[in-house]
Amino acid sequence: LSEHWQNIREQMHPDKLSKPEAAKSFLSFIQNIRKATKEEILKIIKSENKDFLPQVVDAVTSAQTPESLEAVLEFLDFKDASTVILQERFLYACGFASRPSETLLKSLTEKFKGDVASQEIRETLVIVMGALIRKLCDREGCKLPAVVEAKRLILNRLEKANKDDNVQMYLLALKNALLPEAIPVLLKYAESGEGPISSLAATALQRYDPSFLTKEVKETMNRIYHQTRKIHEKTVRTTAAAIILNSNPSYMEVKNILLSIGELPMEMNKYMLSMIQDILRFEMPSSKTIRQVLKDMRAHNYDRFSKMGSSSAYTGYVTRGPDVSSTYSLDILYSGSGILRRSNMNIRVFDRSTDLHAIQVVLEAQGLESIIAATPDEGEENLDSFAGMSAILFDFQLRPVTFFQGYGDLMSKMLSATGDAMNVVKALVLLTDFLQEIQLQSGPTASAEFMGGLAIDISGGMEFSLWYRESKTNVKNRVAVFIAGNTEVDSFFVKTGMDTSLETETALDFISTVQFSQYPFLVCMQMDRVDSPFRTHTTKYESLPSGRRYTARRGKAATLAGNEYPLHQENSNMCKKVFGGKSDSAGSWF
Model confidence pLDDT, tens digit, residues 221-250: 999 999 999 889 899 999 999 999 999 999
3-state secondary structure 239-293: HHHHHHHCCCCCHHHHHHHHHHCCCCCHHHHHHHHHHHHHHHHCCCCCHHHHHHH
Across 136-157, average pLDDT: 94
Q: What does the pLDDT read at residue 416?
A: 58
CA distance 314 to 287: 15
**If you ran DSSP here, which 8-state letter would residue 322 be given?**
S
Note whether 211 and 177 are within 8 A (CB). Answer: no
Note whether 522 and 578 are within 8 A (CB). Answer: yes
Q: What does the pLDDT read at residue 371?
A: 64
pLDDT beyond 80 at 462: no
> Per residue in 257-274, is it b (16+ CB within 10 Å) or e — as a string?
bbebbeebbbbbbbbbbb
Closest to 565 measured CA to CA, from 200, 233, 318: 318
pLDDT beyond 70 at 70: yes
pLDDT beyond 50 at 446: yes
Across 508-526, average pLDDT: 77
Sign of the C-alpha dihedral computed for residues 317, 319, 325 and 326 taken in this order: negative
Across 436-448, average pLDDT: 91
Q: What does the pLDDT read at residue 418?
A: 55
What lies within 8 Å, CB to CB, of 347 at 6+ separation is 318, 326, 327, 328, 358, 359, 360
Catalogue the E-assigned strands of 340-469. 340-350, 355-366, 386-393, 396-397, 401-405, 422-439, 445-465
**Confidence band, pLDDT 50/70/90 cuts, at residue 494:** confident
CB atoms within 10 A of CB 7: 12
Quick one: what percent of the chain has pLDDT higher than 90?
Answer: 52
Q: How far is CA 91 from CA 62, 72, 135, 583, in A?
A: 11, 11, 15, 47
CA distance 517 to 305: 26
Q: What does the pLDDT read at residue 584?
A: 46
Across 324-339, average pLDDT: 85
Give pLDDT tens digits for 175-207.
Answer: 999 999 999 999 999 998 877 899 999 999 999
- Could you write out the DSSP letters of every residue in 490-512? E-SS-EEEEEEEEEEEEEEEEEE
The helix (H) or strand (E) run that includes residue 538 is: strand 532-543
Residue of higher predicted confidence among 338 and 47: 47
pLDDT beyond 70 at 421: no
CA distance 146 to 104: 9
CA distance 185 to 199: 14
**Confidence band, pLDDT 50/70/90 cuts, at residue 422:** low
Note whether 427 and 454 are within 8 A (CB). Answer: no
Note whether 29 and 3 are within 8 A (CB). Answer: no
What lies within 8 Å, CB to CB, of 61 at 6+ separation is 68, 69, 72, 89, 90, 93, 94, 97
C-alpha distance across the termini of the chain, in Å: 68
Q: What does the pLDDT read at residue 558?
A: 92
Give pLDDT tens digits for 159-179.
Answer: 998 888 889 999 999 999 999
Note whether 30 and 62 are within 8 A (CB). Answer: yes
CB atoms within 10 A of CB 81: 14
Q: What does the pLDDT read at residue 30?
A: 95
**Confidence band, pLDDT 50/70/90 cuts, at residue 588:** very low
Give pLDDT tens digits for 544-554.
Answer: 888 888 999 99
Note whether 363 and 389 are within 8 A (CB). Answer: yes
What lies within 8 Å, CB to CB, of 407 at 6+ separation is 367, 370, 384, 385
Residue 71's identity, in one-letter code, is: A
- Lowest average pLDDT, out of 60-74, 383-397, 511-525, goes to 511-525
Note whether 503 and 24 are within 8 A (CB). Answer: yes
CA dihedral angle for residue 351, residue 355, residue 356, residue 362, rounded to 10 degrees: 130
Q: Return the axis-axis angle of helices 119-138 and 102-113, rounded to nearest 10°.
A: 150
Note whether 274 and 307 are within 8 A (CB). Answer: no
Closest to 587 measured CA to CA, from 463, 472, 467, 415: 467
pLDDT beyond 50 at 57: yes
**Confidence band, pLDDT 50/70/90 cuts, at residue 272:** very high
Please, is 489 exposed, middle or buried when counting C-beta atoms within 10 Å of its C-beta (0-12, 13-18, 19+)? middle
Distance of CA 65 to the CA centre of its chain: 27
pLDDT beyond 50 at 93: yes
Give pLDDT tens digits for 107-135.
Answer: 999 999 999 999 999 999 999 999 999 99
Integer-rounded Cα radius of gyration of the chain: 26
CA distance 131 to 96: 8
CA distance 138 to 132: 10
CB atoms within 10 A of CB 394: 15
CA distance 337 to 329: 24
> Per residue in 436-452, is it b (16+ CB within 10 Å) or e — as a string?
eeeeeeeebeeeeebbb
**Confidence band, pLDDT 50/70/90 cuts, at residue 582:** low
**Confidence band, pLDDT 50/70/90 cuts, at residue 414:** low
